[in-house]
């Protein structure tokens, strides 16, 4: 489906006729740790695919558990979002964006923001 410009795209290719495979994540907006919501398992698959979540069991539950919260926090760090650990609107909007299929975290390591040591971790507390 190659087109020289947007105006040359036939109506059958416009948004009303297409769906983003991640659109269902919209309904998870506002979810936080401790909740159980339909669709969380699919979100965990998303985070697993991009390297944020390990899968030790072979499948995922719909529980918003500690591992998912940590994954969300790392994702938020990598994309310069507020590190809340919750699926706030800005985080869900970022997740919905089309993206490269290469994982952000490979074999558990990354030098994106979540893999960097922040300066305050080197400071000495009073």
Partner 1 sequence: YSFFPGTPRWPSRRRDLTYAFDPRNELSEDVKRVFANAFSRWSEWTPLTFTNISDYSSADMKIGFYSGDHGDDEPFDGVLGTLAHAFAPPTGLLHLDNAETWIINDVFTSGSSSSTAMDLESVAVHEIGHLLGLGHSSVENAIMYPTIASGVKKVELDRDDVEGIQVLYGTNPENNGTVGPSFGEREMSGVARGSIG
Binding site for partner 1 (CB under 8 A): 1-6, 9, 13-15, 18-22, 50, 77-80, 94, 97-102, 104, 106-107, 109-113, 115
| Shortest spacing between CB 6 and partner 1, in angstroms | 5
Choose between 36 and 99: whose C-beta lies nearer to partner 1: 99
CB 117 within 8 A of CB 77: no
Query: To 10 degrees, the CA torsion angle through 109, 78, 121, 107?
Result: -10
| Shortest spacing between CB 113 and partner 1, in angstroms | 4
| Shortest spacing between CB 10 and partner 1, in angstroms | 10
Rounded to an integer, what distance in angstroms lies between the CA atom of residue 108 and that of residue 114? 11
| Shortest spacing between CB 48 and partner 1, in angstroms | 13
Choose between 109 and 119: whose C-beta lies nearer to partner 1: 109
Q: Is 32 exposed, middle or buried (0-12, 13-18, 19+ CB in 10 A)?
A: middle
Choose between 63 and 79: whose C-beta lies nearer to partner 1: 79
Rounded to an integer, what distance in angstroms lies between the CA atom of residue 55 and that of residue 122? 32
Rounded to an integer, what distance in angstroms lies between the CA atom of residue 110 and that of residue 121? 18
Choose between 35 and 113: whose C-beta lies nearer to partner 1: 113
């Amino acid at each position: 489906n190659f087109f020289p410009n947007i105006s040359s795209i036939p109506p059958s290719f416009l948004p009303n006729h297409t769906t983003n495979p991640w659109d269902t994540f919209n309904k998870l907006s506002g979810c936080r740790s401790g909740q159980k919501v339909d669709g969380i398992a699919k979100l965990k698959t998303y985070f697993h695919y991009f390297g944020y979540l390990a899968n030790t069991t072979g499948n995922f539950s719909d529980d918003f558990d500690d591992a998912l919260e940590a994954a969300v926090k790392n994702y938020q760090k990598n994309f310069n979002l507020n590190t809340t650990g919750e699926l706030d609107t800005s985080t869900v909007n970022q997740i919905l964006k089309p993206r490269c299929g290469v994982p952000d975290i490979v074999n558990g390591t990354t030098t994106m923001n979540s893999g960097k040591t922040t300066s305050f971790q080197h400071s000495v507390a009073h």
